[in-house]
A = this chain, B = another copy of it.
Amino acid sequence: MSDQLPIFPDRAAMFKALGEPTRLRIFDFLRSCCGPVAVEETGDVRTVTGPTVGEVCCHITGAERINSTISEHLKELRLAGLITTERRGKNMICGVNRVALAALVEYLADSPTGENEGCCGDECEAQS
């Protein structure tokens, strides 16, 4: 529980996690691949449905060998709160954390329209 899902991962860490090309590819792949919830024919609801770490490695690197680099990228994405991992038998399956993603979207989309022009008035009297 200590490193699976940080309570409130800070935004910079999220952006940083997405700011590396390989990690962004991984994230993109997971977004296209993972359903947040899947109802199986038995009626069971699985919280996460997605590729295994091995499948991610394969898709990203093309090789069938599991890559420790990908594992570490997945770890950083997970610590940033952007993805989740869950053990299923021998495998770890990966999913995106849609809640964190939505929070990021909300942060970026809610842009103040910039009407407070006097934002620097109180401080910063240095420049003319």
- Residues of B within 8 Å of A11, CB to CB, are 18, 24
- Residues of B within 8 Å of A109, CB to CB, are 105, 109
- Residues of B within 8 Å of A101, CB to CB, are 108, 111
Which of B36, B51, B119 meets A32, CB within 8 Å? Answer: B119
Interface residues on A, range: 35 or more
By the criterion CB–CB under 8 Å, are B35 and A124 in contact? no
4 nearest CB pairs, A to B: A16-B19, A15-B19, A35-B114, A58-B124
Contacts A/B (CB < 8 Å), 11 sampled: A16-B16, A19-B19, A31-B112, A35-B113, A49-B114, A49-B117, A51-B124, A54-B124, A54-B127, A64-B126, A91-B127
